[in-house]
Structure 1
């Protein structure tokens, strides 16, 4: 479900469209899987002459490249096609609002169908999540015509050696769906082709609930299945609670691209996050962004245990922040704290102590006296003294942290329990 937040991060990015189109064209010319340079030239010349849905449904590289990038979370493709993702999503959302007012274009309740192949591994995983939520991590083409989806896509996929054929039957209730949460659109008279498939197009990362999974009887194969889904609108409690929890867990800051990198880390894709931040750093023009992406790269390397690299990038961020800001700016405090954490993980406690103390000095100037970030610094310094065997000093800092936490946080906050445990443990050592 982190992919829902990934979608939000991409959609909030505002890049220069003219530059983005130019960058996409240059990127495409370097790709081996786009043979027709005329298609690339057409995008360059005519992008603004057609709607995003027209481009998406046209028989050009835009469709296949975009959905491959979204499915595989290919950082290069998402970075180069971010402008098109936003344009296409916004076009779907705008038309969704219009069509909801027209019963002919969009009835209040209806079914759509999608046929496709799934690997055996993916299908077994889906069966275990019956009753739960699933996300289609691409723009989703469906049909009002069951035969189109079944005969052209689901049934042929059942005869592929490593897959099962799936017919998704999706129940849609427009009363619980809004253009801001789950936009979809009838592409009749909008797309490139005549609408023989009666296509309904959903925006990327649409969430459904898995209702039922059952075999479709067929005398030629036993690998044909029907999966009934219900569109999870903005009134689905589980979806709303889970999304809110993940937002709180991430507690991310920065631009949409920075958030995207942080989500990739949460998804267990640190290499993709590293690649993204390296690309962003190469393209950064302002000192603020350069500092931010150095900081993010430091965190990526810290998380994967490459501590020397982490320190290098954190120090680069500090050097930039020193040029940009006064000596006691909060950005410097967080950077020193990050370096302290890396040295702590390396067991280099004197260096960790020095960095933590510098961070604390800045926080004391920049923050009110009972701010919880001060308590975090006191606790970190306590941990260093604890590991150095200086238990009396460790206890003193733990107690300072506890005092501030108790004044600034609710009584059930995990920070309070954590520092209490630290106090109990260090007292046993004294």
Structure 2
């Protein structure tokens, strides 16, 4: 067992096949190298063969000849061994080869930044997250934060724990390039984190990502700054068939390598490695041929020659973070092996300019840790964002009240997004408590916290407390212009939730009166209030009045939103329900058809809202 611990981080022995299969089925994002005795392997191989988690199977037995015939039926059985040392060397080589072929890429096939689909949005946000990481000023505390965090993954490996101790104590004695090319835990953690989009690990490694990126850029300026001739390098990887199909469709688009990129100057080296990757039936081997024009390209790269931990790195080139390329051409070299020709793009590239402008808009006014946390919230990486906010709060001094209140407010918002309402309420109230220690109760800075706290209290069913917060918002001095009618509308919604129609109506009417008299151009706010009044009359079964207010809502929505906005779909859906209640089935179907058309175009067919609208349309069609 000790020999295996030197080649793998997690060793999991089993003596019961059923328990073993239960464990394998629980593994989602890792590869398993399965070692089993010959006789037991013969029993388990049929089930193991079809499990994606299992990379290879190795038989360890006393007599190879007993098993050489039956194993021919199973592609995942890599080899048979009678000596433990030989087995360990084979497994170690296979793990290293798989890790070497692991490359995380993102593809953007569309030119427009408007209405990005989920895949394109992932590309853009990943670039933003990497940019944010590189902008943060880190101190020694974050390095200690990382080493404390990473030790939990290597509790059974004394070798890796010793390397972590060495890294912590001697980090500044070597260059970041030296540490990265040592290919110890930090190298493996970083590559795996980018491959799995594990932002919890990525943000903790931010200090090293920034240092390594700076080291590469500095070395590039010293050695390659005056280079003028075209540079061609190669990178070999294996990607899933589904990812390859997207790559095929994206010719002319842009591709980013998410991690730091190690390449070779030698095509023969790339080809030799590619041939070892062609055997996996679920993967396609890819050789990326990368052409870089030093005159137009802004990316940094460095020949590893004398900079690496290892001496045998002749011909290897390491690229900095944020390497983006144009996909020029795909060429088939042989079965399951393709060459993809890429060219480096610079900031003057029109599509890259669009991406950079979009990035500036999304993160306007934010920097450092808060910029990174906001981006993680946007991509629904809530746990990573929450840990960043908690880390920032722990590092912020007591007298920096505005910043501490801001962090608590953001933690409240984050937990609200997670539907963890009790925790959201706690954080919003903590933010208010911090602010009230140095601000008057009617200070404008308290407005958003009162409103957000009221919103989450309403969602949590704490109606009286929600009304208190909205009324506190009404008392704010010099508030935002629309604050008063918006708060009356909010209070009306609380009463509506409690079916207190008279009180709800009074507050909605106050909101409408103020909006019409003082804010005639506030169409969105007026539409929202009309919608709530329509809902109120619908619940009161006064369908004629409900229809009247939903019609008013639609009239305003059509002036505010584009034809394909989901807000319009919601209004069409409400009009369908009230027309159904009035026995006007033909009109109801017409409205729900419009709603379905919008959500299908915006969300796709698998979104919950689309499914709900389609189901309702089917019900209407069956009863008409």
TM-score, structure 2 as length reference: 0.57
Higher Cα Rg: structure 1 or 2?
2
State the distance in 2 between where 1:99 and 1:417 align: 60
Structure 2 gap ranges (5+) = 1-123, 494-503, 535-547, 553-624
Which secondary structure does the structure 1 equivalent of 2:289 belong to?
strand
- Which deviations, in whole Å up to 9, do the C-alpha atoms of 1:16-75 show, x marking residues without a partner? 23x334333333333227541332232133211111111111232221122223333434
1:193 matched to 2:299: no
Which secondary structure does the structure 2 equivalent of 1:164 belong to?
strand
5 Å-filtered alignment, 1:368-383, equals 374-375=480-481, 377-378=483-484, 380-381=486-487, 383=489
State the distance in 2 between where 1:29 and 1:133 align: 37
- Higher relative contact order (CA closer than 8 Å, sequence separation 6+): 1
In the superposition, relative to structure 1, how do residues 304 and 145 fare at CA in structure 2: closer, same or farther (>3 Å)?
A: same
Which secondary structure does the structure 2 equivalent of 1:216 belong to?
strand
**What RMSD over aligned residues (CA atoms) do the two structures have, in Å?**
3.1
Q: Which residue of 1 aligns with 2:270?
A: 149
- Matching residue within 256, 260, 270 for 2:372: 260
1:236 matched to 2:342: no
Deviation at 1:87, TM superposition (A): 0.9
Deviation at 1:315, TM superposition (A): 0.9
In the superposition, relative to structure 1, how do residues 270 and 16 fare at CA in structure 2: closer, same or farther (>3 Å)?
A: closer
1:58 matched to 2:182: yes
- Which deviations, in whole Å up to 9, do the C-alpha atoms of 1:87-124 show, x marking residues without a partner? 11111222233334332xxx443222100111223223
State the distance in 1 between where 2:467 and 2:162 align: 61
Deviation at 1:265, TM superposition (A): 2.1
- Matching residue within 279, 283, 304 for 1:159: 279
Provide runs of 4+ in structure 1 moved above 6 Å. 347-350
Greater Cα shift, 262-271 or 28-37: 28-37
1:12 matched to 2:12: no
Q: How many residue pairs align between the two structures?
A: 398
Q: Which residue of 2 aligns with 1:342?
A: 456
Structure 1 gap ranges (5+) = 366-373, 407-415
- Which deviations, in whole Å up to 9, do the C-alpha atoms of 1:155-205 show, x marking residues without a partner? 322212432111111222223333xxx333333322223364422222223
Which secondary structure does the structure 1 equivalent of 2:354 belong to?
helix
State the distance in 2 between where 1:150 and 1:7 align: 31
In the superposition, relative to structure 1, how do residues 363 and 264 fare at CA in structure 2: closer, same or farther (>3 Å)?
A: farther
State the distance in 1 between where 2:138 and 2:295 align: 34
- Matching residue within 357, 370, 382 for 1:270: 382
- Matching residue within 114, 118, 121 for 2:235: 114
- Check whether the contact 1:382–1:398 (CA below 8 A) recurs between aligned residues: no
State the distance in 2 between where 1:186 and 1:424 align: 65
State the distance in 2 between where 1:133 and 1:363 align: 50
Q: Which residue of 1 aligns with 2:149?
A: 27
Greater Cα shift, 23-32 or 44-53: 23-32
- Which deviations, in whole Å up to 9, do the C-alpha atoms of 1:362-418 show, x marking residues without a partner? 4616xxxxxxxx145356325426643344312234347846xx6xxxxxxxxx663
